[in-house]
Structure 1
Amino acid sequence: MSTTAVETFTDVIRSRRSARAFLPDPVPADDIRGVLEDAQRAPSHSNTQPWEVHVFSGDARDRLSAAMLKAFEAGQMSPDFTTTYGADDSVHVRRSQQAGAVLYGAMGIAREDTDGRTKAIAENLRFYGAPHVALLFVPELGDVVRAANDVGMYAQNFLLSLTARGYHGVPQGMHGLFADTVRAHLGLPADLKLLYGISFGTADPEASVNRLDIGRAPLDEHIVLHDTSL
């Protein structure tokens, strides 16, 4: 592979950001199709391709948002998968808390501002103003772990393709908290499980929340080397 190709690929990966404020401008249909075709090239166990993806725009997007917000306001959450991160003092919880502090700080929401936090959470279900949202479902194949992993690789292709084309997306686990509501809204069977959604479009360049870099842990927190030198 040429040096230029490596640099371009690395630039795409390292420039990807999760936007949380979008411009209303729709993404052209050719670009959406291109993103979906790129995502479709994701690897999957025995080529099962265990993803079903529903893309919403325009009025369909607004109706979906209204249904999810109604369930949110009524406290009717119905996740298909656990939403916990382990023990309260685990490294994963600490990372989540640190990211939340940075995000809410950028939005000017204090930790004790319960009403402000509730309104901010609800913006997930308005898709942060993005003109499009894709919901990613997985069928009940075995214990679902392999299939869910495959959908994760699909989502990564989706997000990187958006970045390469000058757009942004944000994967949103909160969408998965309203699985029954979404299935009822779409008339889907109970054995099609909702993992999460990806809101996407053009990030608002003026929004301070879009200029954040949450960062990543150093490699030695995650990687164990066996007869390997770096």
Structure 2
Amino acid sequence: MGHKENHRSNRVGWLRAAVLGANDGIVSTSSLIIGVTAASATQHNILLAGIAGLVAGAMSMAAGEYVSVSSQLDTIEADLAIEKQALEQDYEDEIDELAQIYEQRGLDPILARQVAEQLMDHDALGAHARDEIGLSDTHGANPIQAAMFSATTFTIGAALPLLVAWLVPLPLLILMVAVCSLIFLASLGAIAARTGGASMVIGAVRVTFWGALAMILTAVVGQIFGVVA
């Protein structure tokens, strides 16, 4: 039995969505909590702001992902409709077009023509979708599933700093939310990098850096408005 490589590129889609959702949840909620705390709010108001941020953020992620995936599917369907019409109007030209693509990839003209004919006999639209348009999956993701997945991962990420804010006393709130959130972010970045086969250290550092920057900026804004108030 031959050796089979364990490729990770098939994980890119769901991994990106999961990391993006959880990362946004942690960064936005922790930054919101730190900013409101720096403005000298009460712990009740801090938790209220955090919960509101969680709900609003989750819905925003869901809506954004739904619109994004739906728009992508609309584009795919429009491209497939154009290609289907071309196949119906001039099948032979479409064979030539596909054969030229295979020639450019290194096949000799005779073999390229044979491959194009056989693939189009099997699935003409699928062959052109894959090799001419570049669509590996003509069905695409489900907009509702994508929306629910993004909202769920955002909620999980946002719940972590919110839980810390609920458990720790007000004088330690900024410090503990910041420290715990950075630990969460570093862990998330490392796990995502490990899953994707990249460096765990680099994955942790780049996620933590941007999270720390967001928290610092919101703390400064909260401090300014707190002083003004």
The structure in which a higher percent of residues are helix is 2
Q: The TM-score by the shorter chain falls in which range?
A: under 0.3
Q: Tell me the TM-score normalized by structure 2.
A: 0.21
Q: Tell me the TM-score normalized by structure 1.
A: 0.21
Which has the higher Rg, Structure 1 or Structure 2?
A: 2
